[in-house]
Amino acid sequence: MDRAHLEEMLADGLSLAAMGRRLGVHESTVAGHLWVHGLHAVNADKHAARGGLTREQLAPLVEAGMSIAQIAAELERSKATVRHWLRQYDLRTHPSRMRRVAETRAARSQNLTRTTMTCSVHGETDFAVTQSGYYRCLECRSAAVVKRRRRIKEMLVSEAGGCCSLCGYDRCLAALAVPSSRPGG
């Protein structure tokens, strides 16, 4: 690969991968030839390392209750970079959990058995007190019951042969009836 040919492809705005495909070589080979000729890939500065993050940069943002995505936008870094440096300094973000804790404390102080709070999955919805004294999203609880019942039915149907014992139908699990094992049932 000569310098003129590489300069021509760079002027066309081709990436390393596109140049590699055009030349029939791996993009790392193209990068090596660019380096030898003192050339730089298109968007090299955009993808260049911007240095590490300090605890002093991250701690106030974590304390403010910002999420990883919000911190990444604030510091103009990727979420992966923010996650890496949070782990390095043993910092954790829990904005939705912190909000839920505050809502739970407020509901407990009023002795409410049901209240409206913010679920991380369903957004603002109804919560009810569990036997252990914690609040749980009613939609999450309902979805968990449905999921468990489907899982149990799958196990029962597979133990019974995986299909109808009369005709052999096996396409739709919901269409199969599982005989009751209860006395008188």
Q: How many CA atoms lie within 13 A of 78 on its CB side?
A: 9
Residue 166 confidence (pLDDT): 82
The DSSP-derived string for the chain is --HHHHHHHHHTT--HHHHHHHHTS-HHHHHHHHHHTT---TTTTTSS------HHHHHHHHHTT--HHHHHHHHT--HHHHHHHHHHTT----HHHHHHHHHHHHHHHTT-SEEEEEETTTEEEEEEE-TTS-EEEHHHHHHHHHHHHHHHHHHHHHHTTSS-TTT---S-GGGPPPPP-STT-
Tell me the β-bridge partners of 135.
129
Residues 61 and 84 in one domain: yes
**Model confidence at 142, in pLDDT bands (50, 70, 90)?**
very high
Q: How many CA atoms lie within 13 A of 4 on its CB side?
A: 0
Question: How many of the other CB atoms lie within 10 Å of CB of 124?
Answer: 8
Instruction: State the Cα–Cα distance between residues 1 and 23, nearest whole angstrom.
Output: 9
Q: Classify residue 45: in a domain, yes or no.
A: no
Residue 185 confidence (pLDDT): 47
Q: Calculate the CA 178 to chain-centre distance.
A: 36
The one-letter amino acid code at 145 reads V
Given a cut of 90, is residue 100 above it in pLDDT? no
Which residues fall within 8 angstroms of residue 42, CB to CB, at 6 or more apart? Answer: 10, 13, 14, 15
Q: Classify residue 155: in a domain, yes or no.
A: yes
Q: Give 37-67 pLDDT, tens digit per residue.
A: 998 888 777 766 677 899 999 999 988 878 8
pTM of the model: 0.41
Q: Classify residue 50: in a domain, yes or no.
A: no
Q: Classify residue 80: in a domain, yes or no.
A: yes
**Residue numbers of the domain that contains 114:** 95-139
User: How many domains in the chain?
Assistant: 4
